[in-house]
Amino acid sequence: MDRTIFDYDRDMRTYSCCSLLCGVDEAGRGPLAGDVYAAAVIFGSGVQIDGLNDSKKLSEKKREALYDEIVAKADAYSVATASVEEIDAYNILNATFLAMRRAVAALHIAPEIILVDGNRLPDWEYPSQAVVGGDGKSASIAAASILAKVSRDRYMREMARQYPAYQFDKHKGYGTKLHCERILQYGPCEIHRRTFLRKLYGGNE
């Protein structure tokens, strides 16, 4: 068990004099295809989960196992998205913030303070703190990163069944050599982010 990742949240509760601390993180800002996901997680002060860490440092199997434990042990959690159309309309940063606002709004418990992974905060009414590298420091942010990542990976596997030519299950929409080759061969499909394809098409998409 990584004790310090839970100590970070405990110390933040003490420092802020708030018991309802919420961690928020996203998944899928960089891919060329698919929705962007965000998750929000509130843990009780006594929760411990062995192996909880930044989702990027965990295997897919470990993330899936931790997903179930997080859902079982969280006082409240939510996963939300912003669509490909919203990404193209508002840009990826604003769409990510939109997904984060939706995730927090869907919680059945209102948080008293929110920790957000990164160096920028959405525009909302909650007392908040941006935490650079937060998914490796804060238990609640790490949990949110796992819920967002697992949920998005599951969605991309479903998209792979709907659009088999692009093999989304292999690259999850990221700009890998395989994915770029398939886009150039078949053209973009409905879940491709048109604003992300301009470089691939030499600025003409």
pTM, full prediction: 0.94
Q: If you average pLDDT over every residue of the chain, what do you get?
A: 94
Separation of alpha carbons 176 and 79, rounded Å: 26
Tens digits of per-residue pLDDT, 7-38? 999 999 998 888 899 999 999 999 999 999 99
* pLDDT value of position 201: 82
Tens digits of per-residue pLDDT, 107-141? 999 999 999 999 999 999 999 999 999 999 999 99
Is 190 exposed, middle or buried (CB count within 10 Å of its CB: 0-12, 13-18, 19+)?
Answer: exposed
Q: Which CATH architecture has domain 3-160?
A: 2-Layer Sandwich (3.30)
Nearest-5° Cα angle at 175, 169 to 176: 70
Instruction: Give bridge partners of residue 117 from the DSSP assignment.
Output: 131
Tens digits of per-residue pLDDT, 144-176? 999 999 999 999 999 999 999 999 999 999 999
